[in-house]
Structures are given as structure tokens and as C-alpha cells.
Chains A and B, each alone.
Chain A
């Protein structure tokens, strides 16, 4: 399913984005990869929900900025980073990596990380396959 979504998005990106701007294309492809991944994981997962929300917000921002040149950037909520009791200090780094990790407790953070790793690695496999089949 993820492969299907991703390839569809890829073909659309190829259609719409100009071929010259490599950076834009690669960013859009990356977003498509994450979006297809999160979409496949479904809304039951915290990380996929957070990822989709983030991507949506970004696309909305892009839409706004293209519409009226002045981007309406919502001020980012800054959560007070306090060392949570009973968890290793490295957990904060993991929170930053896993989407939506800031709001999770440590237990579900680990759970979501496991699922996220699974999805991410299969997405990487898919992209490798696509790249391989294209370049060969």
C-alpha cells in the first residue's frame, strides 16, 4: 500500500514540479515518502498522526505563502523541557527523532519508536528498490 501511494505521489511530483529545481523536488519526494508511510500506518499510531499533521501544516503554510507572499506562521509552542523522572537522558534525543515524540510518555515512546522503525525501514527498502529499478 505504501509503495502504491508513494509511486503515485512520485509520478505526480514528476508531472507538476519543474525539472530544474532539484532541491524542491527532493524535498517533495521526501515528504511524499513520509506521507505515504504515515498514511499506511494509519491513524491509530501516534507518530503517524503527528507526521501527517506536521506535513499538512507545512503544505498549508506553503499554500498561504504562495497565496499572499506573507507567510502566516503560527508561533511554535515551546514546551518546557524538563528532565522527566525515571527515564534516561537520551530519551530526549529519541523524542526529537520520532514524530510526535514530545508529547508521549516514555513507555509509549518506545512502542511508537518500534513501529516507526519498522515502517521507516520498509520505506527505505521501497525507495531503494525504486532507485535500483530506475538506474538499472
Chain B
């Protein structure tokens, strides 16, 4: 049952936007769900009737495509799925949830079967798809009243009720009250974030289980913070010597200049930068000896004179550092923007 509810959703994601109602028989082999061939059509009219009647907007089609590409790769949907509208994300993620939360699912299923009409036999369901739809419509109405966590869904449903009403539907065998739907959305968001973190933290992809992953993340953050502390200690201990030798300063100096090549257009740095040349007073004296036109401008004009002259000058002085800095700057900027 678990596997069944897990798989049965695939064809819907994959093919419904592209293909008209007929070819779901064809779509199944792609998904290698042959073992449930006899089961799946029974649940399908449900989807397709809704799909065919209401049609799919272009946005939805795109979203479906993205989610389907994710599914075919059998990869965990990660950052990519952020593009898709939230309700679609729900659907694409839902397959994962039952695996993790098996017990909860079962509980829910039981509750569902006892209390509602959705947990009946397939044949009954097939015949009563119209009724089911009506029921989902009600559910959607309930959904809209709920403010938290589903607000995106709710707004979408408010704009274009038909697609919204398709998306937020819980699949067969899953609890359909608004609380468990919201809970499912939340869980699926969390797993998505976890995937994102897994990509960021080295060594995190090897461990399995959320608790171990959290441990890895915590360790990594701690180590980074310790590193910052250690490096600031190191900087504090090494810096004073800089000002005794003006020579050392010029490789310290070329960094602010490099940084200024970027904020060229950013005027907000300008008013504050003027004390920087004064900090490197003896360094500018050094420059003066070598390269007369540059340094005196620094004091009166501030940073605008900096990049062109200083930059070209620094190429002469510290060319061995140039590539390092450039490279560093690239990853710095890319990680921040």
C-alpha cells in the first residue's frame, strides 16, 4: 500500500499536462510501474477527469515540467523546486513523505478510512469520482480559511480556483483535513531545505538520517565560527607589525583596491572610504617614490581615483597575487549575490 501510493502519482505529474486523457496506459511503462498496471487506471479517471475538464494554465504546465524532470531523474527535488508554485511542490514532494513518516501515514490512512469516503475500494471510487471532486472542493474551501503555511496556496486558489483545487488535493489514502495537509507542506519544505544544506556542508551527503545530518551541520557551523575566532586572533597578532614596514602594506593595500573595482558604481561606499588612504599613509608614501601621479590624488579625491590608477599600479607591484585575489573575489561575490 505504501509503495502503491508512492508510485501512483508519477504518471499524473509526468504526463497530464502534456497528453490528453487517453494515454496513461502508455505513460506507465516509462515509470516502470508495471507491477501496478492494473491498479493505476482505477485511480486515474479521478485525476484526468479533473485535469481534462479544467485545463492547465501555462504556469502550471511549466511547473509540472520542472517537477516531472525532477521525478524522472529520481532525484530529490532540491533548490529547483523553489521555482515551481508551492502547490505543485507539494505534489512533487509528497512521494517522499510516506517513506519517512510511515507510521504517521498509516495512522492517517486508518483515520481516513474510518471517517471519510476516500478510503473505499477502487471500484467504488472509480464510480464516485464526481463525488470525490465535490468533496475536494469543500476541502479547498476549508483550506482557504486557514491563514498560516498555506497562504500561498490559498491565494492561488483565490485567483484561479480550478488549478488550485486540483493541486491541493491529497492523494488516495492520505489524510485530507487541512491540518495534515499543512503538516505535509511543512515537512516537505523541511526536507527540501535539508537537501539544500546537504549540498552546502561537506561530508553531509555521506550520512543518512536527519539527526546525523543536523549533527554534521552543527559541527560545521561551529568549526566555521571557531575558524573566524582563530583567524581574528591571528590577524590581531600579526597586524601591528604591518605598520612598521610600509613595504608589507602594499599587498595588503591591493585588496581594497580590488574591492573597489566592483563597487565602482556604488556610491554609498564613497563617503566612508576616505579614511582608508589615511590608514595607509606610509603606504602611499611608498607609492609616491615609485609612481608619482597616483598617490596624492588619493587624499583629496577619495576612492574614485583609486581603481584605475591604483589597480594598474598594483599589477606592476604585486602581480603574483593578482590571480589569487581575482579568483577569491569571484567566489566571494557569487556567494553573496
Contacts and interface: CB of A to CB of B under 8 A. Distances in A.
B204 to A, nearest CB: 10
Given A88-B211, A124-B228, A134-B248, 12 more contacts: A3-B255, A4-B256, A7-B252, A8-B256, A14-B240, A14-B279, A22-B237, A26-B229, A97-B225, A114-B200, A117-B201, A127-B235
A94 interface: yes
B197 A110 contact: yes
B208 interface: no
Contacts of A27: 232
Given A25-B236, A26-B233, A4 B210 contact: no
Given A4-B259, A8-B273, A126-B328, A134 B239 contact: yes
Contacts of A126: 328, 332
B190 A124 contact: no
Given A107-B193, A117-B200, A131-B238, A88 B210 contact: yes
A111 B228 CA distance: 22
B260 interface: yes
A94 B193 CA distance: 14
Interface of A: 1-4, 7-8, 10-15, 19, 22, 25-27, 29-30, 33-34, 40-41, 86, 88, 90-91, 93-94, 97-98, 106-107, 110-111, 113-114, 116-131, 133-136
B236 A29 contact: yes
B223 to A, nearest CB: 9
Given A1-B336, A120-B225, A114 B193 contact: yes
Interface stretch (B14-22, B212-220, B285-293): B212-220
Contact of B336 (A10, A117, A119): A119
Interface in B259-287: 259-260, 262-263, 269, 272-273, 275-276, 279-280
Contact of A14 (B201, B243, B255): B243
Interface of B: 183, 186-187, 189-190, 193-194, 196-197, 200-201, 210-211, 214-215, 217-218, 220-222, 224-225, 227-229, 231-240, 242-243, 248, 251-252, 255-256, 259-260, 262-263, 269, 272-273, 275-276, 279-280, 321, 324-325, 328-329, 331-333, 335-336
Contacts of B194: 110
Contacts of A128: 231
Given A2-B336, A7-B259, A127-B231, A12 B275 contact: yes
B214 A120 contact: no
Contacts, number: 170
Q: Is the interface of B mostly helix, strand, loop or mixed?
A: helix
Contact of A117 (B197, B262, B269, B328): B197
Contacts of A106: 190
Contacts of B210: 88
B221 A97 contact: yes
Given A12-B279, A122-B335, A130 B256 contact: no
A114 B217 CA distance: 9
A98 B262 CA distance: 29
Contacts of A125: 328, 331-332
A117 B198 CA distance: 11
Contact of A120 (B228, B255, B269, B324): B228
B190 A107 contact: yes
Nearest to A116: B221
Complex A-B, nearest 9 residue pairs according to Cβ-Cβ distance, in ascending order? A4-B259, A110-B193, A26-B236, A11-B279, A25-B236, A127-B231, A29-B232, A30-B232, A19-B240
B321 A133 contact: yes
B214 A90 contact: yes
Given A2-B336, A120-B228, A113 B197 contact: yes
Given A107-B193, A125-B332, A120 B256 contact: no
A134 B197 contact: no
Contact of B221 (A25, A30, A94, A131): A94
28 contacts: A1-B262, A1-B263, A3-B329, A4-B259, A4-B260, A8-B272, A8-B276, A10-B239, A12-B275, A13-B239, A14-B243, A25-B236, A30-B228, A30-B229, A40-B336, A106-B190, A107-B189, A107-B193, A117-B200, A122-B336, A124-B227, A124-B231, A126-B332, A127-B227, A130-B235, A131-B234, A131-B238, A133-B252
